[in-house]
Amino acid sequence: MAKIAIVMGSASDKPVAERAAGVLASFGLAAEVRVISAHRTPEEAAEFARSAESAYSAVIAIAGKAAHLGGVIASYTLLPVIAVPVKTDVMGGMDSLLSIVQMPKGIPVATVAIDGAENAALLAVSILAVSDDALRGKLKEYREKLRQETTKADEEVRKR
């Protein structure tokens, strides 16, 4: 069964990682959460990424500041790598965002919003759903629920 790796650069990113894991779980998808640092444990990062294909279908990388984690993993694997720039004090995470999204030609990283852990998970879902109709069905339900929440909020605000 498809399994997603959620890798964070530092244990302090755990709350972000857990939001991604929660979304994946709600879709019945297995996830493995890891702490691997592109800079403090480069050998482990390379080793993880080199063997990721055999264990996972996609990788979600969560990192801040000079956030190289997604790029380093992407450089060693052919799997789709989705990266979440973590909010920092530098223009609200612009350092994380630019370090991730501006990858050079040849090695893409799919970037989502700053602190956008849920969307990273949903992107992983939509990627797996390309070849999994049951999962796409669940995604449809998720979207419908999303729609209903907004519709309900609309009704409440109109009542007043």
Q: Which residues from 22-61 bind a copy of itself, rule CB under 8 A? A: 32-44, 46, 53, 57-58
Return the number of the residue (24 or 71) whose C-beta is nearest a copy of itself: 71
Minimum distance from CB of 28 to a copy of itself (Å)? 16
Rg over CA atoms, the chain: 17
* Cβ burial, residue 140 (10 Å; 0-12/13-18/19+): exposed
Residues 116-145 that bind a copy of itself (CB under 8 A): 116, 118-120, 122-123, 126-131, 136, 139-140, 143
DSSP state of 1: -
Size of the site for a copy of itself (CB under 8 A): 89
Q: How far is the CB of 1 from a copy of itself (least distance, A)?
A: 13
Q: Collapse the DSSP code of 83 into the 3-class scheme (helix H, G, I; strand E, B; otherwise coil) and give the result.
A: strand
Strands 30-35 vs 81-86: parallel, antiparallel or unpaired: unpaired
**Would you count residue 86 as binding a copy of itself (CB under 8 A)?**
no
